[in-house]
Chains A and B, each alone.
Chain A
Amino acid sequence: MQAKLIYTKGLKHVLIIGFGLLMLYPVLWLISSSFKPNQLIFSQPGLWPSRFTLDNYINGWRGLSGISFGTFFMNSAVISVLSVLGNVITCSLAAFAFARLNFRFKSLLFALMLVTIMVPYHVTLIPQYIIFNELEWINTYYPLVLPKWLATDSFFILLMVQFIRGIPRELDESATIDGCGQSQIYWRIILPLLLPALITTAIFTFIWTWDDFFSQMIYLSDIRLFTVQLGIRSLFDPSGSSDWGALLAMSTLSLVPISLIFMIFQRYFLEGIATTGLK
């Protein structure tokens, strides 16, 4: 009986590990191919490179039309960090108001905020494009970053509202007695306690902005402003004549920042997903 139990348990682990390796295969294939000489990438199926080279990284880093991938990484980082700051600051301000303050039209505005979670980006895209075009902001980062500084990702507001509702109101009340105004309550009491939700927001904003392709493609056509995603897409020629080594090397590098963030903030990730259903 005991032996059988150990046996089935062991079998289960083998299955789970085997399935896990299968799941990771595409990622492992990408990493291993990026170290293979170009002619071996498709001819040698094994994951371990029989000849190991860094040429792909050197070639790929040169980038496109004289603009190196370093620039693309810098650009992506600037957009992502500015978006993170915008979302964290403005969503938490709005969430504080919705969760703690009383004001006219509160329930109406809250309902409208909830509805906007469902609204696809595409419905606002064309008028937004027209506005940004009128402002001559095409080929700048404003169209990508400004929406985050105006709390348009209402999903995060909802996340923070729910979190703030869990913070005991007695804390606010005793701060009021000590003479704190609302802005001090926000700054000294709510914000520090909201930290886990802020980190979740920051992580997911970073990843979504880093991986964003659609709006970057629409607003950026000047190669000097290109992001990592746009750079990779431009290295890639669907008709088949791409420099695959360079392409896969830069693709591998493009996943590094996200993976690092995941490793550092793993706990917040899994908690954030579990409590909010973020992707």
Chain B
Amino acid sequence: MRAAKRLKISQHNRTAYLFLLPWLIGFLGLTAGPMLGSLYLSLTKFDLLSPPTWIGLDNYRQIFTEDNTFSGSLWLTFTYVFLSVPLRLIFALLVAMALNKGIRALGIYRTVYYIPSLLGGSVAIAIVWRQIFDGEGAVNKLLGFFGITGPSWISHPDYIVYTIVTLSIWQFGSAMVIFLAGLKQVPGDLYEAAQMDGAGKIGQFFKITLPMLTPVIFFNLIMSMINSFQVFTPAFVIGDGRGGPLDATMFYTLYLYLQGFSYFNMGYAAALAWLMLLIIGGFTAILFLTSKFWVFYGDSKDGR
């Protein structure tokens, strides 16, 4: 009896692992294995041609004490993440609020605002961005119309990062769609009750809408932060592909790419990659730990 049961369980295990097999191979061979591999490589000097030589923590020491490009690229990436993520979410929320109140032709507007998110990741749009922000481009013509002389956004190292930030904000559509869905879930009687208690529009927004949306905001915040840290294509295409002008487009991933695949300092690049994992992991952990203070799950089960 017991033997039969055990046989049944092991059969279960076998079926389940057959289903899991592709994932398991991928997890071990392409994710977990390589993660450990790059941890090991980060402690070596390796140029792909000769075998890696162990140098201990030397790569990390060099990164933190001697490498100005590292700190520059880290700050640039932080600037990008901390500007683009909140601004994109705020934009998305504002437009979602404007579209939410039973507006006519919502479907069309939603589509129009979503199109940038759909196309924005391509090389094509990055090239367009470079052109419309160029000294003589559409943005400066528009500013000139209001009597403002815009700078040369692309060639000036102080401004090019804002060009890349706007490209990210421009793609607020996907977050907006998520907010629209979230807004629909807010029960209408909450607003009625608030109105009876004499809450104004602004009060309703801060006391009802915003708290009810916090699970959605939390989820959006985490996913866009993780993605923003990994931004590459706009930096590569809008800049010159080597971090210029004056390292103003030397985003973290671009620096990692150049170290690994242009200078073939693969050990060094692996160390950069692990630091990136720790930074992203750290920020994710902070968001999760603080979430209990500001994310409101209410009593609905599928708040997410």
Contacts and interface: CB of A to CB of B under 8 A. Distances in A.
B125 interface: yes
A229 B125 CA distance: 11
B241 interface: yes
A174 interface: no
A127 B37 contact: yes
A202 to B, nearest CB: 15
Contacts of A90: 22-23, 26
B31 A126 contact: no
Interface residues of A, number: 88
A30 B123 CA distance: 12
A123 B118 contact: no
B237 A29 contact: no
Contacts of B129: 26
B38 A123 contact: yes
Nearest to A244: B131
Main secondary structure of the interface of B (DSSP, over half): helix
A122 B109 contact: no
Interface stretch (B190-198, B202-210, B228-236, B289-297): B228-236
Given A104-B13, A150-B23, A211-B121, A26 B128 contact: yes
Nearest to A109: B20
A18 to B, nearest CB: 11
A103 B233 contact: no
A93 to B, nearest CB: 5
A180 to B, nearest CB: 12
B34 interface: yes
Among A101, A122, A207, the most chain B Cβ lie within 10 Å of the Cβ of A122
Nearest to B119: A255
A105 B298 CA distance: 32
Interface in A213-272: 213-214, 218, 229, 232-233, 236, 238-239, 247-248, 251-252, 254-255, 258-259, 262, 266, 269-270
A144 B116 CA distance: 26
Interface stretch (B54-62, B63-71, B79-87, B266-274): B266-274
Nearest to B110: A270
Given A29-B132, A120-B273, A238-B241, A259 B118 contact: yes
Contacts of A130: 37, 48, 266
Q: Tell me the interface secondary structure of chain A in the complex.
A: helix
A42 B48 contact: no
A182 B113 CA distance: 43
B111 interface: yes
B119 A258 contact: yes
A233 B165 CA distance: 21
B273 A152 contact: no
B230 A149 contact: no
B276 to A, nearest CB: 6
A126 B44 CA distance: 13
Contacts of A274: 177-178, 180-181
A45 B38 contact: no
B257 A30 contact: no
B199 interface: no
Interface stretch (A51-59, A61-69, A111-119): A111-119
B138 interface: yes
A125 interface: yes
Given A103-B17, A157-B23, A131 B227 contact: no
Nearest to B36: A127
A218 B20 CA distance: 29
B19 A97 contact: yes
A274 B22 CA distance: 29
A274 B260 CA distance: 38
A185 to B, nearest CB: 10
Nearest to A45: B141
Interface string A89-105: 01101101110011110
Given A149-B22, A151-B23, A207-B118, A232 B180 contact: no
B31 A273 contact: no
A23 B116 contact: yes
B25 interface: yes
B109 A20 contact: yes
Interface of A: 12-13, 16, 19-20, 23-27, 29-30, 42, 45, 90-91, 93-94, 96-98, 101-104, 106, 109, 112-113, 116, 118-131, 133, 146-147, 149-152, 154, 157, 181-183, 186, 207-208, 210-211, 213-214, 218, 229, 232-233, 236, 238-239, 247-248, 251-252, 254-255, 258-259, 262, 266, 269-270, 273-275, 277-279
14 contacts: A25-B132, A103-B12, A112-B32, A124-B34, A152-B30, A213-B233, A218-B257, A238-B239, A259-B119, A270-B177, A274-B177, A277-B219, A279-B223, A279-B227
